[in-house]
Chains A and B, each alone.
Chain A
């Protein structure tokens, strides 16, 4: 399976200079939260790496993670597909169909035992013997066991492959589960998000090619480099939160000026993700950057635990109880409200009139996430 092509050489053929290649390695080092000197290690490892076979399975999915993959820019998807990996099976983009597609999957599983990466997108329905998702007449639960059971490692991309995601939201009509429950005991890394961010998947693959090992994870199997920080702790709007400047209505002055979205239901205080630092689509923007609250799509069972999306989270660290965000304004500002209402800058006054909230990072990052406030019971497995 080894061949002479390596990424740098391949990139060179496409006019990518050594400088640009090293820049990419430096970027990956920073995404992976490694010291900059690791850029060199990454570069020499990638130069030597053979094209690792990869199969990408889709079950109860919407192809959102595939689309995320198609937006890859560092390296681009064509570099991944042609130069970095050997993507042998991916229903949404592969050339063959039917029997010949199945053949591509079989060949990989048979010819590379414990020698390929499996990526899984979508949940696996366990109900009714697997009739809710079949491919080539086979139940998803059987395919995932066979393919992931023989893989070097499995990467579950998106919320669905992680914990069942949307199909597993209450009342979970098809008894959908994530890979960890469908195939227990395999080498698995979870990359939740709806969808996952391609920068992070690239990071995991680069980490693997560099260190021949998967990156460190938390107890839920999520790589720490991507899921180790609460959004709220490094959100660019955090200053507004601390100063009590909140968006009160969609389109108001605060909204136009980029104030905190907490009162509009932002789940950032309970969401572990590197969205604020890596952004989306080549760092063009990210949800809070485009002025809608975070919906917590990287959190466990977020369809049940982070909804309703527009209801504010109680008990956010920083000012204690929910009522405080309102009291911040109401008590202090009552007298001047009328004067400023016409200008739509009530919250600004509130912020100015209020003592700066004590800003403490939760000592255990996970604690922010664990304070679930399910609005409906999750009947998922």
Chain B
């Protein structure tokens, strides 16, 4: 059968294209391509390393804080800077809030429409929707009247004939399994979650001045001051405000997100054996409890799990084993495109060899993506919430174990169900739930420091470039909502000499490497059922379960210091 193309993959950040061969109703082979490139790492060369986080934050406007944090960590690592405890906690709060908000938006606004049929919701009996809602949660809004109002609103909207964002969706597709009442519940919470995320993320605005693209990071700490006696700093009143937002997050996640996830998943249990993919999982670990140098004390542990092995502790992760391949990516290496390169040794130049636009198909035997192919020990890896929950589970993390087991039990599936599209969706929810509890603890931790009179937020010993070594190199990392994120920086004479980011969606969305090994999206799509190739809803389900974020996945730096040829603009 001919190749199927989905481009654009929507409800993601960035530009992603999937080509797939479907035979007898199942995907036989798939290729994932990032179709946009900006060259931020070239742009970073020669700049002030203290500015890098402002630039790299724009890798992505969705997980808007993660590249900023990774960047300051990379520079701090290079310059050997230890940040004050308050800065560590404030960063954890910002980061934790990012995970919570991002996961909720993903579930309701980027992923739910793959499982929830908006049009079917019009047929629901609002009274029965209320009964369903009340049976799974104590959320106070769940009255028949409330669901009736939502239904009317959607009805008026549909009857207007202008369906806007919802026009041309796959409504009525046979793969939709929810009864109308559950669909109405999903639609109501889609709208509610829009309001919720906007309120909750004000915690970022408070700590960072604005969201998206916060503006209070600093190499050496944070710029948001802490002082109980100041009106403009984090004081008792702001701590109280943050506690309120944290409570708001916990309520929504416990009473809306998790019950919805369980309810929807219970209709789609067949997806617990679809979309597993690589079975190899990597985490760098994050949320330092003390210092960044002690990953064994991180809230999310660092490690690698291979071949779906939950029975043994994860193996040790060493960043030196990360390499990137360009065998099927539109870049070239001076000494041959078949070698993998560690980011510090990395050398990359863009060289497009694809078809001239407009084009119908890519040459998937040759180079076919702006994403490189990162590998760990030459092995492709999946990163993200599922990787984090699997590594934590294997490491014996008590909270993760208890919650994962609880969810599996409620769904009536075994641990092997984790290695699937549904597993990815469930892992994200479980992580969000655990994170809401941590968030509250971090705010208390900050308040306790303040009460002790610890107001330090920045270590300025090495703020001025005169205090830096002539040459330095560093690695910054974090667990972004979408997975293990690393920035590698080399500093020379006070300026950035090299900058390289290996991001979660490059791991997951990678094209094949020199040995022909597919990336996580490509592997997970194999065997996915496709009822109607004209409406490939099932492919969207598996791809969306990774929460792709592509803009930050396409990047390049030029290790030789050569200026790339510039093309004259007409």
| Residue ranges of A at the interface with B (Cβ–Cβ < 8 Å) | 1, 3-5, 10, 13-15, 51, 53, 58-68, 70-73, 76-78, 81-83, 85-88, 90-104, 107, 123, 125-139, 142, 166-167, 169-177, 181, 194-195, 249-251, 255-258, 280-282, 284-292, 295, 303, 307-311, 376, 379, 381
Task: Kindly list chain B residues whose C-beta atoms are within 8 Å of the C-beta of A257.
Answer: 227, 230, 232
In the complex the two chains form, what is the Cα distance from A134 to B162 in whole Å?
A: 28
Residue of B60, B201, B221, B570 touching A71 (CB-CB under 8 A)? B201
Nearest to B226 among chain A residues (CB) is A256
- Is B569's CB under 8 angstroms from A177's CB? yes
In the complex the two chains form, what is the Cα distance from A168 to B370 in whole Å?
A: 18
Q: How far is the CB of A13 from chain B (nearest CB, A)?
A: 6
Q: How far is the CB of B242 from chain A (nearest CB, A)?
A: 12
- Is B205's CB under 8 angstroms from A284's CB? yes
- Is A307's CB under 8 angstroms from B51's CB? yes
Known contacts A173-B350, A290-B215; A285 and B210 CB within 8 A of each other: yes
Main secondary structure on B side of the interface with A: loop
- Is B37's CB under 8 angstroms from A303's CB? no
In the complex the two chains form, what is the Cα distance from A70 to B566 in whole Å?
A: 36
Q: How far is the CB of B554 from chain A (nearest CB, A)?
A: 9
Nearest to A89 among chain B residues (CB) is B165
- Is A281's CB under 8 angstroms from B169's CB? no
Is residue B335 within 8 Å, beta carbon to beta carbon, of the partner chain?
no
User: What total of chain B residues lie within 8 Å of the partner, measured CB to CB?
Assistant: 113
In the complex the two chains form, what is the Cα distance from A82 to B162 in whole Å?
A: 9
Is residue B167 within 8 Å, beta carbon to beta carbon, of the partner chain?
yes
Residue of B13, B46, B357 touching A63 (CB-CB under 8 A)? B13
- Is B8's CB under 8 angstroms from A310's CB? no
A-B contact pairs, 25 of them (CB 8 A): A1-B162, A5-B160, A10-B153, A53-B162, A67-B212, A86-B162, A92-B13, A95-B166, A107-B167, A131-B354, A132-B37, A135-B15, A173-B42, A175-B567, A177-B569, A250-B220, A251-B457, A256-B225, A257-B227, A258-B232, A285-B210, A286-B210, A290-B209, A309-B50, A310-B50
Q: Which of B60, B167, B355, B540 has the most CB of A within 10 A?
A: B167
- Is A251's CB under 8 angstroms from B221's CB? yes
**A-B pairs, 6 with minimum CB distance:** A64-B61, A173-B39, A95-B169, A290-B209, A280-B210, A287-B209
- Is B48's CB under 8 angstroms from A77's CB? no
Is residue B401 within 8 Å, beta carbon to beta carbon, of the partner chain?
no
Task: Kindly list chain A residues whose C-beta atoms are within 8 Å of the C-beta of B460.
Answer: 249-251
Known: A92-B12, A95-B166, A134-B35. 12 other contacts (CB 8 A): A58-B15, A67-B61, A67-B212, A93-B10, A98-B9, A134-B357, A171-B43, A251-B455, A281-B205, A284-B205, A290-B224, A291-B209
| Residue ranges of B at the interface with A (Cβ–Cβ < 8 Å) | 5-15, 35-40, 42-43, 46-48, 50-51, 54-55, 58-62, 64, 105, 109-110, 113, 118, 149, 152-153, 156-157, 160-162, 164-170, 191, 194-195, 197-198, 201-202, 204-213, 215-216, 218, 220-221, 223-227, 230-233, 350, 352, 354-360, 370, 455-458, 460, 463, 534-536, 540, 551-552, 556, 563-564, 566-570
Task: Kindly list chain A residues whose C-beta atoms are within 8 Å of the C-beta of B160.
Answer: 3-5, 51
